[in-house]
Chain A
Amino acid sequence: MRNLLIVIFLIPFSVYPQLSSFDFHSPENIKLFADHLFCEGDYLRAIEQYGLLKDHSVNDTTDFKMMLGYSKLGLYKESNKYFNGIDDKSNFYSDAYLLSLKNELLLEPKLIIASNVQSLDSIQLKSYRRITTISMLYEAELNIIREDFISPFDEDERNAVASFYDFKVDPNYKSPALAGTLSAIIPGSGKMYVGEWGDGVTALVVTSLFAFLAYDNFRTDHTTRAWIFSGLGAFFYTGNIYGSIASAQIFNAKIEFEFNDGLNLFLEQNNYFLPVYDFCK
């Protein structure tokens, strides 16, 4: 009886070590570890671990997670390769399709042409309409009226979307040719036209000053000094014309950059209108 009790007492000790003897690289454990890395935001390692899984352990969830992981890493081309492997009967197909649209937009900002919309549910369809509408901003010209453009968006998004639309329709560019011409007629006025009032007034004062000094010295027969001031005046005059043209070009590049930057920030903040996927609950 005592022996039996001893053996019963020892059984848990023999079971525990067997459980502790661990196969880190079994498919189940690789998948558990990959899921953990994915939730930790370590997408590169998560993708590497999902890639180690053999065919029987891979499913549409792992494929979609790899697609999502690559997209989060900014590797949009690689991300879209996984879209091709997701079956159109899969639960993730529609989400993967929307994600592929985002990837395409980030790879090459251009108008998204409609396709594959039959499988989308109402929420996905709303995401789809917003992402395709916003992609119109990447076209050279907008062929849609303002109301139709902003209609797919939520109330809190409409102000921002409307301002993007307004910029695209009337970008308020400054003409470099006009800026140069204005400065040729009245020094500094080209800079003022571009909005650089301080530079414009300075250019007007300095050029006028040199012109006056040149005139005054010619008048009093100080020809050497007069020629020095004439040369300096001519230098500032032509420099100001060139500067006004450059300022207009810089102004245009700046507002173009701010538009693109603002649009990208808006899209990032709204996750390109995609649903939030939470695999880590």
Chain B
Amino acid sequence: MTSVSKILLLLLFLWISKVNLFAQDSFDEQFNLAKKLYDEEKYFDAVTEFKRLLFFYDGDIYRYESNLLTGLSYKNGSIFSEAIQHLTLAELNSKNIDEIFIARLEIIKVNILRRTTARAFTLLDSLQNDSRFVNKIDEINYWRGWAYIFSDDWRNASSSFSAIQKDHQLSMLCDSVANDLYNPQLAKILSLVPGAGQFYTGEYVSGVISIGWNVLWGYLTINAFMEDRVLDGLLIGSLLWWRFYSGNIQNAEKFAIEKNLEKTNSALRYLQNDYKGSKP
């Protein structure tokens, strides 16, 4: 081969390399554009550009990350079913264990957010039982704790967080919420003494009113029997006293449930607005 031929061949190779790089650039550019939109929190446009890339791109390089970020964009827009769909595609296109773990964890977080916590627990169990993720147990416990929070099971949430660290901030928070909650069954039992259940839940006015009604109808019932007006006594006792007595029990249970809802909502508000750690 003459030196001129060699130079020509070299030039040809250089030209091919240049065009190859350029081709790679156009998909890179598209990916970077979509990623930039995602970073700027322009989720609608980010999804459009990721979808455009995925539609025209046949290779595997961008498939995982594009689907993952599309899923996260949908998640940020609270379109959870689409989010799960794309996160599942991300998991299917993952190239290593870390990518599988990240994608599945994101699916779990979406399930926590949309309160399909049974599905979240199933996926957490699958991660925990998978020997590839033995070194990720703390992270699995952390999200299990969050799944328990969204299932309104604060005791188990606390146990999950304390499995990571004895005095984990969220473990203490969950413990304090669990300790603060009223027991609706206890409220009902206490109400066998009219008003006591209401006093237990801090509803003092309602407790006093409940005592008043029960004293009034109780007095009229007993008085009727003492004066031998048996029919009066039976009717007042069965239709009025009993009505107010059973109402007092139901009322106490209702207060306990309402107060618990207030307390858990307040804890969730704190977690949403003030907690600095990772959130679903």
Interface residues of A (CB under 8 A from B): 2-3, 6-7, 10, 13-14, 17-18, 20-24, 29, 32-33, 36-37, 42, 45, 48-49, 206, 209, 212-213, 216-217, 220, 225
> Which residues 209-253 in B have Cβ within 8 Å of A in the complex?
220, 229, 231-232, 235-236, 239
Answer yes or no: B30 CB below 8 A from chain A CBs: yes
Give B2's nearest chain A residue, CB to CB. Answer: A3
- Which of the residues A3, A6, A24, A37 comes within 8 Å of B26, measured between beta carbons? A24
Residues on A with beta carbons closer than 8 Å to the beta carbon of B20: 17
Asked if B232 and A3 make an inter-chain contact with CB atoms under 8 angstroms apart, the answer reads no
| Measured CA separation A24–B53 after assembly (Å) | 8
Given contacts A24-B56, A48-B48, contact A10 B16 (CB under 8 A): yes
The 10 closest A-B pairs by CB, nearest first: A20-B23, A17-B19, A17-B23, A21-B23, A22-B26, A17-B20, A45-B48, A36-B55, A14-B16, A13-B16
Residues on B with beta carbons closer than 8 Å to the beta carbon of A17: 16, 19-20, 22-23
Answer yes or no: B166 CB below 8 A from chain A CBs: no
Answer yes or no: B27 CB below 8 A from chain A CBs: yes
| Measured CA separation A48–B45 after assembly (Å) | 10
Residue pairs across A and B with Cβ atoms less than 8 A apart, 8 shown, are A3-B9, A13-B16, A24-B26, A24-B53, A29-B56, A33-B52, A33-B55, A33-B56
> Which residues 1-46 in B have Cβ within 8 Å of A in the complex?
1, 5, 9, 12-13, 15-16, 19-20, 22-24, 26-27, 30
Answer yes or no: B69 CB below 8 A from chain A CBs: no
**Further pairs besides A3-B5, A10-B12: 13, Cβ < 8 Å:** A3-B1, A14-B19, A22-B26, A22-B27, A22-B30, A24-B26, A24-B52, A29-B56, A33-B56, A45-B48, A48-B48, A216-B229, A216-B232
Answer yes or no: B174 CB below 8 A from chain A CBs: no
Chain B contact residues: helix, strand, loop or mixed:
helix
| Measured CA separation A3–B239 after assembly (Å) | 110
| Measured CA separation A216–B15 after assembly (Å) | 113
Asked if A225 and B220 make an inter-chain contact with CB atoms under 8 angstroms apart, the answer reads yes
Residues on A with beta carbons closer than 8 Å to the beta carbon of B26: 20-24
Residues on A with beta carbons closer than 8 Å to the beta carbon of B13: 10
Asked if A45 and B30 make an inter-chain contact with CB atoms under 8 angstroms apart, the answer reads no
| Measured CA separation A33–B57 after assembly (Å) | 12
| Measured CA separation A220–B232 after assembly (Å) | 12
Give B18's nearest chain A residue, CB to CB. Answer: A17
Given contacts A37-B51, A209-B235, contact A18 B12 (CB under 8 A): no
Give B17's nearest chain A residue, CB to CB. Answer: A17
Give B1's nearest chain A residue, CB to CB. Answer: A3
Residues on B with beta carbons closer than 8 Å to the beta carbon of A20: 23-24, 26
The interface bits of chain B over 72-110 (1 if a CB of A lies within 8 angstroms of the residue's CB, else 0) are 000000000000000000000000000000000000000
| Measured CA separation A23–B56 after assembly (Å) | 10
Asked if A206 and B51 make an inter-chain contact with CB atoms under 8 angstroms apart, the answer reads no
With both chains docked as a complex, state the minimum distance between the C-beta of A205 and any C-beta of chain B, in angstroms: 8
Answer yes or no: B47 CB below 8 A from chain A CBs: yes
Residues on B with beta carbons closer than 8 Å to the beta carbon of A14: 12, 15-16, 19
| Measured CA separation A155–B23 after assembly (Å) | 60
| Measured CA separation A225–B235 after assembly (Å) | 14
Give B47's nearest chain A residue, CB to CB. Answer: A45
With both chains docked as a complex, state the minimum distance between the C-beta of B238 and any C-beta of chain A, in angstroms: 10
With both chains docked as a complex, state the minimum distance between the C-beta of B52 and any C-beta of chain A, in angstroms: 5
With both chains docked as a complex, state the minimum distance between the C-beta of A211 and any C-beta of chain B, in angstroms: 12
Asked if A21 and B232 make an inter-chain contact with CB atoms under 8 angstroms apart, the answer reads no
Residues on A with beta carbons closer than 8 Å to the beta carbon of B12: 7, 10, 14
Given contacts A22-B23, A24-B26, A225-B220, contact A6 B9 (CB under 8 A): yes
Residues on A with beta carbons closer than 8 Å to the beta carbon of B220: 225
Residues on A with beta carbons closer than 8 Å to the beta carbon of B27: 22
Residues on B with beta carbons closer than 8 Å to the beta carbon of A225: 220
With both chains docked as a complex, state the minimum distance between the C-beta of B48 and any C-beta of chain A, in angstroms: 5
- Which of the residues B1, B22, B229, B231 comes within 8 Å of A21, measured between beta carbons? B22
Asked if B9 and A42 make an inter-chain contact with CB atoms under 8 angstroms apart, the answer reads no
Given contacts A17-B23, A21-B22, A45-B47, contact A206 B239 (CB under 8 A): yes
Asked if B51 and A42 make an inter-chain contact with CB atoms under 8 angstroms apart, the answer reads yes
With both chains docked as a complex, state the minimum distance between the C-beta of B263 and any C-beta of chain A, in angstroms: 35
| Measured CA separation A13–B14 after assembly (Å) | 12
